Amino acid sequence: MGQITVETCEIEGLKVITPTVHGDHRGYFMETYNYNDFKEAGIDVEFVQDNQSASKKGVLRGLHFQWQYPQDKLVRVIKGEVFDVAVDLREGSKTFGRWKGVLLSEENKKQFFVPKGFAHGFLVLSDYAEFCYKCSDFYHPGDEGGIMYNDPDIAVEWPTTPDMELLLSEKDKQQLSFVGYKKEKGLN
């Protein structure tokens, strides 16, 4: 594969991508996305929107998903460090309800491909972080759903420290439980 190395995960569909970094005394250059390389790696997705957010230490965003217009996402960190999480919500999947976490940072330059059918979230570990993500569908107001970041049935092991104050949006403080999500989807 051209300019990337792709690591498959224990949950089918999730992939960790490491770009080839060309550096010298002046700095570095890397391709963060090349359709041909990604297609060769099994990620044949047309991305239609790029988003970027900035957050301070302790901000936890997620676990978000889309009800009617699911999105593939390719996420990376350009400043700081985050713990990024995907939860399998694909009906009939043998890993339904399981999660995978990946450390993304400006140093390791890794990217995480999260396909449709997953909830997604991240926790900022550095004092400040800038997070970028490509999406395969446009944002549809009112279509976003979420599951509580600390749901006991999913049991994400967020790498918090005793001195870390978690900062959540009001919306993320009131997300569904995993049981509530399954009930909404008629999956009991």
Per annotation, catalytic residue among 28, 35, 133, 181: 133
Specify the 3-state DSSP secondary structure of 178: helix
Per annotation, catalytic residue among 64, 120, 149, 181: 64
Does residue 89 have a cis bond before it (omega within 30 degrees)? no
The answer to whether the CB of 147 falls within 8 A of the CB of 178 is: yes
Q: Work out the burial of residue 157: count CB atoms within 10 Å of its CB; fewer than 13 is exposed, 13-18 middle, 19 or more buried.
A: exposed
133 is catalytic: yes
Question: In Å, how far are 41, 114, 158 from 155, measured between CA atoms?
Answer: 30, 19, 9
Supply the DSSP string of 7-20, one letter for each residue: EE-SSTT-EEEEE-
Which residues does the annotation mark as catalytic? 64, 133
